[in-house]
Amino acid sequence: NSYNNLAVVYLSQGEYEKAEEMYEKSLKIREKVLGENHPDTAGSYNNLAVVYLSQGEYEKAEELYEKSLRIHKKMLGENHPSTAGSYNNLAGVYKSQGEYEKAEELYEKSLRMRKKVLGENHPDTATNYNNLAWVYEGRGEYKRAVSYYFKAYKVFMLKLGMNHPDTQIIYKNMKIAYFEWDPKGNFKQWLEEKMKE
């Protein structure tokens, strides 16, 4: 709806209070028209959680992501892409707080679901690889992080191409993690060899 679309614009501009206000209006409409347990209402909980997460309000974000997850599981089932997305989003709250074990568990669960439902070479599956790489990088497991960044990079290269902003971001993240893992290594040569595998 229009409130939701306005909120997206405000969020992209960093105007969190306005985004929150618009998402709340959208949520109230969806709750009234669709009911509290509708997948679109779950989407509104998710969107509002993004605003809270962006502002470091982790408890509020976690509560709304959990609510969204419960609705998706109940209404769409455990093996639905939206349910996988909810696990992924909840994991992001834990990652942001440095709770890497909790984040890893949920990212892994989301990854298994996405591989099963969407396939190995879907951008959402690649997003899970990237998110797991963040977890491993946060724990100082750079070799493992590089491995997961590479998995994400291959999918994004295949689906979006080298010049897509998401591919570029993963490339940069992978390069940074690579030099943390192997400070004297040759990243370009390593990447060329990996791409041939």
Taking only the tens place, the pLDDT of each residue in 111-142 is 999 999 999 999 999 999 999 999 999 999 99
Q: What is the pTM of this model?
A: 0.91
Region 69-93: mean pLDDT is 96
Report the CATH fold assignment for 119-197: 1.25.40
Region 77-91: mean pLDDT is 96
Cβ-proximal residues to 145 (8 Å cutoff; 6+ apart), any chain: 133, 134, 136, 137, 177, 180, 181
User: Mind listing the pLDDT tens digit for each residue in 135-145?
Assistant: 999 999 999 99
Would 1-102 and 119-197 be classified into the same CATH topology? yes
Residue 1 predicted with pLDDT over 90: no
CA 61 from centre of chain: 14
> Domain spans of the chain?
1-102, 119-197
Report the CATH fold assignment for 1-102: 1.25.40
Contact 135, 105 (CB under 8 A): no
